[in-house]
């Protein structure tokens, strides 16, 4: 039998799964797109500075940041995940500025700061709107769970409907009610 996760071991039939985090979904999307941005930025910086001695360092640093972006997706559900994402946003913008200062390409490389700032704004939006949607989703989940518990309790409080009224009146004289046509 394959090894099961904790969530699989604790699962019970009829259990409603807890909602997944929209904030983590948004954040991992931004991080993966930033990984692609950093890889292509490294290629562009390498292409513009092929004859310089530091070009491989720039490309390696851009690829390392891209790998960090993808790896951080796995840590978003841990306490260190989102603060590390903010640090990574600052590192990405700083890397754009550092490459602009090191290279002699003038205005071409500094313009790469614009997508970096745009992705930082996307990260902020993912944190803000994702947290808001998570709160709404959790509120809806708790309300559904409460309704499910109430429905289960009301199912337990319902009298046995398998007995018919004729059976009840034949066995219990108080249930008979008004005189039946047979007694008249």
Mean pLDDT of 82-94: 95
- Percent of the residues in the chain that have a pLDDT greater than 70, as a whole number: 82
**Is 85 a domain residue?**
yes
**Is 115 a domain residue?**
yes
Provide the pLDDT confidence category of residue 8 given band limits of 50, 70 and 90.
confident
Question: What pLDDT score does 81 carry?
Answer: 94
**Is 161 a domain residue?**
no
pLDDT at 15 over 80: no
pLDDT at 160 over 60: no
**Is 111 a domain residue?**
yes
DSSP per-residue codes, 101-156: HHSS-TTTTGGGHHHHHHHHHHHHHHHHHHHHHHHHHHHHHHHHHHHHHHHHHHHH
pLDDT at 128 over 60: yes
Tens-digit pLDDT profile for residues 34-58: 999 999 989 988 888 888 888 899 9
**Is 15 a domain residue?**
no
**Is 125 a domain residue?**
yes
Query: What is the spatial distance between Cα 50 and Cα 59, in angstroms, rounded to a whole number?
Result: 11
**Is 184 a domain residue?**
no
**Is 6 a domain residue?**
no
Structural domain of residue 75, as residue ranges? 20-153
pLDDT at 79 over 60: yes
Asked if 39 and 63 count as a contact pair (C-beta separation under 8 A), the reply is yes
- Spell out the residues 6+ positions from residue 98 whose beta carbon is closer than 8 angstroms to its own: none
Tens-digit pLDDT profile for residues 97-123: 888 887 766 555 667 788 889 999 999
Question: What pLDDT score does 7 carry?
Answer: 79
Task: Name the domain count of the chain.
Answer: 1
């Amino acid at each position: 039998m394959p090894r099961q996760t904790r969530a699989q071991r604790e699962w019970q039939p009829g259990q409603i799964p807890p909602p997944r985090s929209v904030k983590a979904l948004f954040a991992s999307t931004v991080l993966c797109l930033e990984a692609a941005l950093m890889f292509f930025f490294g290629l562009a910086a390498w292409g513009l500075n092929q004859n310089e001695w530091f070009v491989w360092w720039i490309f390696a640093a851009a690829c390392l940041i891209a790998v960090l972006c993808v790896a951080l997706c796995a840590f978003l559900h841990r306490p260190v995940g989102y603060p590390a994402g903010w640090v990574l946003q600052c590192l990405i913008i700083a890397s754009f500025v550092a490459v602009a200062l090191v290279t002699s390409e003038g205005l071409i490389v500094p313009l790469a700061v614009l997508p970096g700032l745009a992705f930082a704004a996307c990260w902020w939006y993912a944190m803000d709107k994702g947290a808001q949607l998570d709160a709404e989703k959790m509120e809806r989940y708790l309300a559904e769970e409460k309704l499910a518990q109430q429905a289960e309790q009301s199912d337990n409080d319902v009298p046995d409907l398998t007995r018919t009224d004729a059976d009840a009146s034949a066995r219990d004289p108080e249930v008979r009610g008004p005189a039946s046509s047979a007694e008249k």
